[in-house]
């Protein structure tokens, strides 16, 4: 992408990763809208990335080096077999070449690696997204709420990316 403005709705893992990629690809302006104000809460879960995808993402600069991971090599499927063994019976084992990341560590690493040119607006909620013109030449119009200086504001962007989770205002 060369030029143009990009709005990323959602500033978590996918939002930070896409914002970084758009900035590196040459977007004129990238703005991330994250509805959470203050510190993002750790989710306490692990996210797994296949070894080959992790290498590709690192080579592209999307996945910064130095984020702690737990290397996984095998996945085991265990079933209860009625014996006294609490481990049960191994039913199936398969290769599992993945890196497991803690949500909070992965998000912080991606956030810290987001280029300084990206505007990251925390505490601002996008309440609706619509096309502001007819045809392919129209831009996307975002309606914002949040701090007094943002409530009811309209912003127009050439591209809007929904990284705002399962209750996405962008998909609606």
Q: What top-level class would CATH report for the domain 5-75+101-162?
A: alpha beta
- Residue 46 pLDDT exceeds 80: yes
| 13: phi then psi, degrees, rounded to nearest 5 | -60, -55
pTM: 0.83
* DSSP symbols for 72-94: EEEEEEEE--SSS-TT-EEEEEE
Span 51-60, pLDDT tens digits: 999 999 889 8
Q: H helices of the chain, where?
A: 13-24, 51-60, 103-113
Burial string for 101-116 (b: 16+ CB within 10 Å, else e) reads bbbeebbebbbebbee
Give the SS3 label for residue 14: helix
Ranges of each domain in the chain: 5-75+101-162
Cα 152 to Cα 16, 75, 122, 126, 149: the distances in Å are 25, 50, 16, 10, 9
- Residue 166 pLDDT exceeds 90: no
Lowest mean pLDDT among 4-13, 34-43, 122-131: 34-43
Q: What is the pLDDT of residue 123?
A: 92
Span 110-157, pLDDT tens digits: 999 999 999 999 999 999 999 876 656 678 999 998 765 556 788 999
Over range 149-168, report the average pLDDT.
86
Q: What is the pLDDT of residue 20?
A: 94
Nearest to 98 by CA among 53, 66, 45, 44: 53
């Amino acid at each position: 992408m060369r030029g143009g403005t990009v709005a990323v709705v959602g500033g978590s893992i996918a939002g930070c990763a896409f914002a970084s990629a758009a900035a590196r690809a040459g977007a004129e302006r990238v703005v991330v809208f994250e509805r959470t104000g203050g510190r993002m809460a750790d989710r306490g879960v692990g996210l797994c990335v296949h070894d080959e995808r992790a290498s590709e993402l690192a080579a592209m600069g999307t996945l910064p080096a130095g984020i702690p991971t737990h290397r996984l090599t095998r996945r085991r499927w265990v079933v209860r077999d009625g014996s006294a063994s609490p481990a049960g019976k191994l039913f199936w084992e398969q290769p599992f070449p993945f890196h497991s990341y803690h949500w909070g560590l992965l998000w912080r690493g991606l956030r810290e690696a987001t280029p300084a040119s990206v505007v990251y607006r925390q505490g601002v909620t996008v309440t609706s997204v619509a096309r502001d013109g007819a045809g392919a030449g129209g831009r996307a119009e975002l309606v914002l709420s949040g701090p007094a200086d943002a409530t009811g504001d309209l912003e127009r962007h050439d591209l809007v990316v929904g990284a705002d989770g399962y209750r996405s205002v962008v998909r609606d």
